[in-house]
C-alpha cells in the first residue's frame, strides 16, 4: 500500500456518510413537515374525509330525493294542483302582461322624462328657500321670494315620449301634478297586477306546500344549497367561541356533521360515527351551540385537537372527561339542578328518582332534595326576619311621633313626621299578613314531610315478631326488588337491632276486626288503583307498580287488624308525635287537659304546648275512601298472600331488655332513622357524605382504597368507575383491608340493576360545581318555574302511576294484563295531558282537596263514578294544592289569574234545539255520559254534564267535541261528530227539524247549552230522551 493509498484526502470518501446523513435529514424533514401538517393535526384528515363522504352521500341522496319528488309530482293530486295553478296563471297572464306593458313601456319612460326638468327646478327652489331661511334682511327675503315665484311661473317645454304625445308648455305646479298623477297610476296598476295574479300565486304556494308537506327529508333544493357550500369547503379549525364565558370548543373540526341541515347517519357517512348529525335537533334548538358550545353539556376538552383521547378529556388529570353514552344526560344536571324531572333526560330523571325514592337522600344530603325541611327552615327564618322588621318599624314610628309632638318641631315637619309614622304602622300590618301566611305554611309543612320506609313505631301493632329478624337478615331475599337495602349484619347485630326496634315501638290498642271476603278483596285490590303503586306476584308473574312494596307475601308478616286500619286510612297513627316536646303523646297527655284523645288534621295542636303535632303517618299513601267492609275484604285478601312454607323461628329474645342499648347503638350506626320513623330518633342527623357536588370532587379524594392501581390498570380510575363499582357492591372498597367491624363501609346494598346503576351514576356524574356561569342555569322566572315545582309534588305522590301527564309516558295501568282487554281499557284513570286547558283552576283545587266532591258521600269519585278505580284523597296541604294547580295551568300555558269566559245566553228556542239534538238517535251524547239515573250510570263511561259548568273551560270543551282523538289519542269519545261547512261547524249526523235555517255554529250551541245546564234541564232531557225511545 503506497502512501497515496493511505492518504485520506485521496481515498477516504465521506460520500457514504454524507448520503446517509442527508437522507436522514431529508427523512426527518419530511417527517417533521408531515407531523406539522397532519401528525399533530389529525383533524385535517377528518375534514378531508368528511368532505369526500358528504359529497358522495349528497349525490346519492339527491337522486333518491329527486325520485321521491318526481313521484309526488307525478301524483294525481299534485298534477291537479299544478294544472289549476297553470290554468289560473294562463287566465291571468294576458291582463298582467298588458299591465306590465303599460307600466314599462308607457308610464315609466314618461315619469323619467318629466322627472328630470322637474327635479332641476325643485332643487333650485329648494336652495332659494334655504337662503330665505338664513338671510337676515327682510328685503333680501322678499327678493328671493319673488325669484322663487318667477321660477314657478316659468313655462317649460316638455316633450314626453310615446306616440301621440305633443310637446307641452308647463309650469312647475303643473309638472308636479302630472308627475304625481302618473306615479299614482303606476301604483294602482301594480296593485291591480297583484290582484289579477293573486289566485295563481296562492295556487302556486298551495302546490309547493303540498310538495314540502310530503317530503320528510331535505328537499333537493336544500341538498343543492349544501352541495354549493361544500364546493367551497376549506380545511380549517372550526370553533365556537363564546367570549363572555371563555368557552372555546373546536369539536366541530372533526364532528363536522353535527349541525348539517341534511340528517347524516353512520351508514350514510361510510360507517364513520364521528360525522353523524346531532341526534336531537330539538335539544340544539333550545341550547344553541353558538351560545352553549359543546363541552358544557358533553364534557371533554373543547380546545384540544391533537388526539381523540385528549379532545374527549380521557387523558389523566383532565377534570371534565366527556360523558359516556349511557351517562350522556349527566351534562343536563349542572344547570338543571333544581329539577326532579327534566324533559328529554330520561336516564337522569330515573337516577334522581332512585336517589329520592330508594332513600339515598336519607343518608346523603343533596341540595334541593329536602324540599320540605329546607322550606321549614326558610319559613321560620322569614318569620323571625319579619318579626324583627315589624319591631323596628314600630319603634321608628314611635320616635317619629315623639319628635312630631315636640313643641320645637315646626307644624309642617310635625305633619310630615306623623304621616311617616302612620305609613310605617300601616306597612307593619302588611307584615302581619305575611307572617300569618308563613305561620300557616309552617304548620302544614309538618304534614308534607314524608319518610321512605314505614314507621317503626308501629311494629308492635303491625308485625309478627318472628318475621323481624328474617327481614333484617336480607330484605331482598325475602322480597325481591324491595326498597330496603341489604345491610351486612351478623347474627348479634340482627338480634340487637331487632330487639331495640321491637321494644321502642309504641303500645296501642287496635279494634278487633271481623274477617272479610278475600275474593271481593282481590277484585278491589286489582281494580281500585292499589296496583298503580304496589305490585303483586313474583318473578315474571309480577304485575303492578314499583313505587311501593310488593305484597305477594304480606300475609306472612302482617297483623290483620292493623292491615284493615291501614287499608282504610293509611295516614292514621297509633299515637301523635309532638315535634316540640319530641315525644309520642299518650292518652294521659290529653287527659291532663281534659281533652278527648283525638288527633287528626283538624285536631293537630299539642295539648301540652300548642305546637303542631305529627298526626299522620309519614307515608305518601293516600286514602281510597273505602268502606270498612271493603278495607276488611282487601286486608283479608292480602292475608292470603303468603308462601307455602311460611313458618319462622321463635323470636322472643326481641323482648330482652339487655339487648336494647346495644341495638340503639347499631340503629344509630347504620342510620335506620334516615328512612324510618323511630321513637327517640326523630331528629337523627344524616350519616353519609353530602353528594351535591360529588361529580367534581377531586379524584384523589374518592377512596379507591386498595383498588386504586387495579382501577388505573383497568381504566376505571374515574368518577364514573368509582360510582359504578360502589353502587354495584357498596363494600367493594373494603376489599383486602384489615378493618374493625365499626370501621368498615356502612353503605348497604340496594341490588340495583345495570340500568339503575347507569341512572344513578349519570345523576352523580352530573352533580358538579358547574363549569358555566350561573346565568346559564335553568332558573325561569315565568310559569316554567311552576312546572319545576309541580314535578316534585307529582313525583312525590306518584301521580304518573295512574295518569299520563305527558304523551310519551305509560302508566302502570297500561302494563296490567287485565287492562289490555278492550272493555277494561275504558276503566283506566283519565289522562291529564292538557288538564290545565280543560278544567278551571278553582275546580281543580277543590277536586284535589276532596276528590269525592262531596262532604257526606265520600265513597265515590267526584267526576267519574263509573270507574272502578278512583282518585284517592291525598290530604294535600294548601301549598301542595297550589303547586299542583299551577303546574297543570303552566303545562297548558294558561294565563293567570284565571278569568272565566263569558258565554252568550241561550234563547228558549236554542235551548229546545239543543235538547232535541242531545236526545236524538243521531247524537249519542247521553248514551255514554252520566245522567244521574242510577240504572243508566252503571253503564256510563263519561262524566255528567251537570258538572261541566263549574269544571270545564268552554273553549276547551268545543275543541274537545270537534276532535277528541287529537287531544287524547285512544279516548272513548268518538271523533267526526261535526263537519266544517261555510265557516261553521255543523253536526255530522241527522239534525232535528228545528235546526233548519239555524245559521250559527252547532258546536258552539252545544257548548253554551252544556254550560247552562241545570239538574232541572237534565230531568227534562232525560224524560224527552226516554220518550224518543233512546
Kindly list the residues in this chain that would bind another protein in the complex (CB under 8 A). 270, 822-823, 825-826, 921-924, 927-928, 936, 939, 941, 964-965, 969-977, 988-990, 1029-1030
A 10 A CB-CB count for 195 gives: 12
* CB 819, min distance to another protein, A: 11
For 905-917, the DSSP string reads PPPHHHHHHHHHH
**13 vs 9: CA distance, rounded Å:** 8
**447 vs 881: CA distance, rounded Å:** 13
Cβ-Cβ contacts under 8 Å for 148 (sequence gap 6 or more)? 125, 128, 129
Between residues 268 and 691, which has the closer beta carbon with respect to another protein? 268
Pairing of strands 543-544, 572-578: unpaired
* CB 63, min distance to another protein, A: 13
A 10 A CB-CB count for 271 gives: 10
* CB 1024, min distance to another protein, A: 14
A 10 A CB-CB count for 977 gives: 21
**122 vs 130: CA distance, rounded Å:** 12
* CB 979, min distance to another protein, A: 10
Between residues 91 and 965, which has the closer beta carbon with respect to another protein? 965
* CB 936, min distance to another protein, A: 7
* CB 928, min distance to another protein, A: 6
Q: Is 972 helix (H, G, I), strand (E, B) or coil?
A: coil
* CB 916, min distance to another protein, A: 15
Between residues 712 and 937, which has the closer beta carbon with respect to another protein? 937
Between residues 569 and 944, which has the closer beta carbon with respect to another protein? 944
Question: Which phi-psi region, left, alpha or beta, contains residue 895 (left: φ > 0; alpha: ψ -120 to 50)?
Answer: beta
Chain position carrying cell 406539522: 36
Scanning 232-275, the segments in alpha helix (DSSP H) are none
Dihedral (C-alpha) 185, 186, 190, 196: value to the nearest 10 degrees?
Answer: 40
Yes or no: say if 467 and 648 are a contact pair by the CB < 8 Å rule: yes
Between residues 382 and 1030, which has the closer beta carbon with respect to another protein? 1030
Between residues 486 and 971, which has the closer beta carbon with respect to another protein? 971
* CB 921, min distance to another protein, A: 5
Enumerate long-range contacts of 566-571, CB under 8 Å, 24 or more apart: 566/462, 566/635, 567/624, 567/626, 567/631, 567/634, 567/635, 567/638, 568/623, 568/626, 568/628, 568/631, 569/623, 570/617, 570/619, 570/621, 570/622, 570/623, 571/616, 571/617, 571/619, 571/621, 571/623, 571/875
* CB 224, min distance to another protein, A: 23
* CB 929, min distance to another protein, A: 11
Between residues 101 and 939, which has the closer beta carbon with respect to another protein? 939
* CB 21, min distance to another protein, A: 19
**483 vs 534: CA distance, rounded Å:** 12
**582 vs 631: CA distance, rounded Å:** 32
Between residues 142 and 821, which has the closer beta carbon with respect to another protein? 821
* CB 971, min distance to another protein, A: 7
* CB 23, min distance to another protein, A: 13
Nearest to 848 by CA among 876, 823, 868, 825: 876
At residue 166, what are phi and psi to the nearest 5 degrees? -85, 155
For residue 682, give the C-alpha cell: 326523630
* CB 999, min distance to another protein, A: 21
* CB 53, min distance to another protein, A: 10
Nearest to 893 by CA among 849, 839, 836, 941: 836
Between residues 652 and 823, which has the closer beta carbon with respect to another protein? 823
Cα separations in angstroms, 568 against 158, 267, 468, 565: 104, 59, 24, 5
Scanning 215-328, the segments in alpha helix (DSSP H) are 220-231, 281-286, 289-292, 295-298, 308-311
* CB 797, min distance to another protein, A: 29
Between residues 163 and 1029, which has the closer beta carbon with respect to another protein? 1029
**583 vs 88: CA distance, rounded Å:** 88
* CB 935, min distance to another protein, A: 8
**709 vs 748: CA distance, rounded Å:** 25
Between residues 42 and 989, which has the closer beta carbon with respect to another protein? 989
* CB 40, min distance to another protein, A: 25
Q: Which helix (H) or strand (E) holds 157?
A: strand 156-158
Between residues 418 and 941, which has the closer beta carbon with respect to another protein? 941
At residue 242, what are phi and psi to the nearest 5 degrees? -105, 110
Cβ-Cβ contacts under 8 Å for 135 (sequence gap 6 or more)? 141, 144
Chain position carrying cell 431529508: 26
Cα separations in angstroms, 996 against 920, 923, 1009: 15, 16, 18
Between residues 570 and 989, which has the closer beta carbon with respect to another protein? 989
Between residues 430 and 1026, which has the closer beta carbon with respect to another protein? 1026
Between residues 326 and 933, which has the closer beta carbon with respect to another protein? 933
Furthest-apart CA atoms within the chain: distance in Å: 144
Amino acid at each position: 500500500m503506497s502512501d497515496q493509498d493511505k492518504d485520506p484526502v485521496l481515498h477516504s470518501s465521506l460520500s457514504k456518510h454524507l448520503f446517509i446523513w442527508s437522507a436522514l435529514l431529508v427523512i426527518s424533514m419530511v417527517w417533521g413537515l408531515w407531523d406539522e401538517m397532519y401528525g399533530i393535526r389529525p383533524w385535517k384528515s377528518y375534514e378531508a374525509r368528511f368532505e369526500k363522504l358528504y359529497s358522495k352521500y349528497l349525490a346519492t341522496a339527491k337522486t333518491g330525493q329527486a325520485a321521491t319528488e318526481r313521484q309526488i309530482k307525478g301524483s294525481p293530486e299534485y298534477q291537479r294542483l299544478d294544472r289549476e295553478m297553470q290554468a289560473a296563471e294562463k287566465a291571468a297572464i294576458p291582463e298582467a302582461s298588458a299591465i306590465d306593458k303599460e307600466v314599462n313601456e308607457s308610464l315609466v319612460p314618461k315619469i323619467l322624462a318629466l322627472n328630470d326638468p322637474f327635479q332641476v327646478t325643485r332643487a333650485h327652489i329648494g336652495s332659494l328657500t334655504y337662503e330665505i331661511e338664513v338671510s337676515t334682511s327682510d328685503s333680501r327675503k322678499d327678493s328671493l321670494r319673488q325669484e322663487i315665484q318667477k321660477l314657478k311661473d316659468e313655462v317649460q317645454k316638455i316633450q314626453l315620449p310615446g306616440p301621440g304625445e305633443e310637446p307641452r308648455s308647463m309650469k312647475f305646479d303643473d309638472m308636479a301634478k302630472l308627475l304625481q298623477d302618473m306615479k299614482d297610476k303606476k301604483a294602482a296598476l301594480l296593485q291591480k297586477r297583484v290582484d289579477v295574479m293573486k289566485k295563481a300565486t296562492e295556487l302556486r304556494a298551495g302546490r309547493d306546500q303540498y310538495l314540502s308537506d310530503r317530503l320528510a327529508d331535505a328537499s333537493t333544493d336544500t341538498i343543492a344549497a349544501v352541495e354549493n357550500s361544500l364546493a367551497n369547503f376549506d380545511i380549517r379549525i372550526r370553533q365556537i367561541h363564546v367570549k363572555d364565558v371563555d368557552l372555546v370548543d373546536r369539536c366541530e373540526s372533526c364532528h363536522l356533521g353535527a349541525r348539517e341541515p341534511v340528517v347524516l347517519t353512520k351508514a350514510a357517512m361510510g360507517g364513520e360515527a364521528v360525522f353523524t348529525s346531532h341526534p336531537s335537533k330539538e335539544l340544539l334548538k333550545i341550547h344553541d351551540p353558538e351560545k352553549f358550545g359543546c363541552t358544557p353539556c358533553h364534557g371533554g376538552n373543547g380546545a384540544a385537537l391533537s388526539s381523540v383521547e385528549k379532545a374527549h378529556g380521557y387523558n389523566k388529570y383532565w377534570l371534565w372527561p366527556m360523558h359516556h353514552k349511557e351517562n350522556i344526560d349527566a351534562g343536563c344536571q349542572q344547570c338543571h339542578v333544581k329539577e326532579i324531572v327534566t324533559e328529554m333526560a330520561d336516564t337522569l330523571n330515573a337516577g334522581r328518582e332512585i336517589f329520592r325514592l330508594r332513600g339515598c337522600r336519607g343518608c346523603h344530603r343533596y341540595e334541593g332534595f329536602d324540599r320540605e325541611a329546607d322550606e321549614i327552615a326558610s319559613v321560620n327564618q322569614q318569620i323571625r326576619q319579619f318579626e324583627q322588621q315589624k319591631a323596628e318599624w314600630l319603634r321608628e314610628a314611635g320616635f317619629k311621633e315623639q319628635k312630631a309632638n315636640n313643641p320645637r318641631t315646626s307644624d309642617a315637619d310635625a305633619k310630615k313626621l306623623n304621616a311617616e309614622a302612620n305609613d310605617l304602622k300601616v306597612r307593619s300590618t302588611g307584615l302581619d299578613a305575611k307572617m300569618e301566611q308563613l305561620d300557616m305554611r309552617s304548620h302544614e309543612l309538618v304534614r308534607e314531610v314524608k319518610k321512605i320506609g314505614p314507621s317503626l313505631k308501629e311494629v308492635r301493632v303491625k308485625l309478627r315478631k318472628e318475621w323481624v329478624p328474617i327481614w333484617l337478615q336480607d330484605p331482598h331475599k325475602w322480597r325481591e326488588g324491595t326498597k330496603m337495602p341489604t345491610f351486612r349484619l351478623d347474627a348479634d347485630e340482627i338480634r340487637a337491632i331487632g330487639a331495640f326496634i321491637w321494644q321502642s315501638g309504641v303500645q296501642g290498642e287496635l279494634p278487633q276486626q271481623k274477617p272479610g271476603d278475600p275474593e271481593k278483596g282481590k277484585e278491589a285490590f286489582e281494580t281500585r288503583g292499589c296496583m298503580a303503586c304496589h305490585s303483586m306476584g313474583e318473578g315474571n308473574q309480577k304485575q303492578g307498580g314499583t313505587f311501593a312494596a310488593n305484597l305477594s307475601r304480606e300475609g306472612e308478616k302482617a297483623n290483620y287488624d292493623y292491615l284493615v286500619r291501614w287499608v282504610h286510612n293509611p295516614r292514621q297513627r297509633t299515637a301523635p308525635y309532638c315535634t316540640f316536646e319530641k315525644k309520642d303523646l299518650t292518652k294521659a297527655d290529653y287527659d291532663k287537659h281534659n281533652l278527648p284523645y283525638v288527633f287528626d288534621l283538624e285536631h293537630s295542636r299539642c295539648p301540652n304546648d300548642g305546637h303542631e303535632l305529627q298526626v299522620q303517618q309519614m307515608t305518601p299513601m293516600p286514602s281510597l275512601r273505602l268502606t270498612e267492609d271493603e278495607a276488611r275484604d282487601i286486608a283479608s285478601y292480602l292475608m292470603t298472600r303468603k308462601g307455602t312454607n311460611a313458618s319462622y323461628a321463635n323470636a322472643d329474645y326481641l323482648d330482652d331488655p339487655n339487648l336494647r342499648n346495644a341495638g340503639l347503638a347499631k340503629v344509630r350506626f347504620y342510620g335506620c332513622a334516615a328512612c324510618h320513623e323511630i321513637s327517640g330518633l326523630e331528629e337523627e342527623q344524616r350519616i353519609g357524605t353530602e353528594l351535591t357536588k360529588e361529580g367534581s370532587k377531586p379524584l384523589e379524594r374518592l377512596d379507591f382504597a386498595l383498588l386504586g392501581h387495579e382501577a388505573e390498570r383497568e381504566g376505571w380510575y374515574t368518577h364514573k368507575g368509582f360510582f359504578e363499582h360502589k353502587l354495584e357492591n357498596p363494600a367493594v372498597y373494603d376489599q383486602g383491608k384489615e378493618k374493625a367491624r365499626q370501621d368498615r363501609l356502612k353503605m348497604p346494598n340496594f341490588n340495583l340493576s345495570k340500568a339503575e346503576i347507569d341512572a344513578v351514576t349519570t345523576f352523580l356524574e352530573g352533580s358538579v360545581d358547574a363549569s358555566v356561569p350561573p346565568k346559564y342555569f335553568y332558573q325561569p322566572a315565568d310559569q316554567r318555574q311552576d312546572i319545576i315545582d309541580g314535578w316534585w309534588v307529582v313525583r312525590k305522590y306518584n301521580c304518573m302511576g295512574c295518569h299520563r301527564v305527558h304523551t310519551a309516558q305509560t302508566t302502570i295501568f297500561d302494563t296490567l294484563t287485565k287492562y289490555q282487554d278492550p272493555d277494561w281499557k275504558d276503566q283506566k284513570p283519565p289522562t291529564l295531558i292538557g288538564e290545565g286547558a280543560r278544567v278551571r283552576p278553582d275546580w281543580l283545587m277543590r277536586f284535589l282537596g276532596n276528590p269525592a266532591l262531596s262532604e257526606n258521600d265520600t265513597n265515590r269519585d267526584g267526576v267519574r263514578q263509573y270507574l272502578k278505580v278512583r282518585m284517592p284523597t291525598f290530604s294535600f296541604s294548601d301549598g301542595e294544592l297550589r303547586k299542583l294547580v299551577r303546574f297543570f295551568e303552566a303545562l297548558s300555558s294558561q294565563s293567570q289569574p284565571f278569568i272565566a269566559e263569558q258565554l252568550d245566553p241561550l234563547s228558549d228556542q236554542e235551548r229546545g234545539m239543543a235538547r232535541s239534538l242531545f236526545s236524538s238517535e243521531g247524537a249519542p251524547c247521553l248514551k255514554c255520559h252520566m245522567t244521574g239515573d242510577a240504572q243508566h250510570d252503571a253503564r256510563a263511561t263519561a262524566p255528567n254534564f251537570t258538572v261541566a259548568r263549574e269544571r270545564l273551560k268552554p273553549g276547551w270543551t268545543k275543541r274537545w267535541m270537534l276532535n277528541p282523538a287529537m287531544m287524547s289519542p285512544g279516548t272513548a269519545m268518538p271523533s267526526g261528530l261535526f263537519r266544517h261547512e261555510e265557516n261553521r261547524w255543523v253536526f255530522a249526523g241527522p239534525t232535528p227539524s228545528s235546526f233548519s235555517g239555524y245559521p250559527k255554529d252547532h258546536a258552539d250551541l252545544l257548548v253554551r247549552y252544556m254550560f247552562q245546564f241545570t239538574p232541572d234541564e237534565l230531568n227534562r232531557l232525560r224524560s224527552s230522551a226516554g220518550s224518543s225511545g233512546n
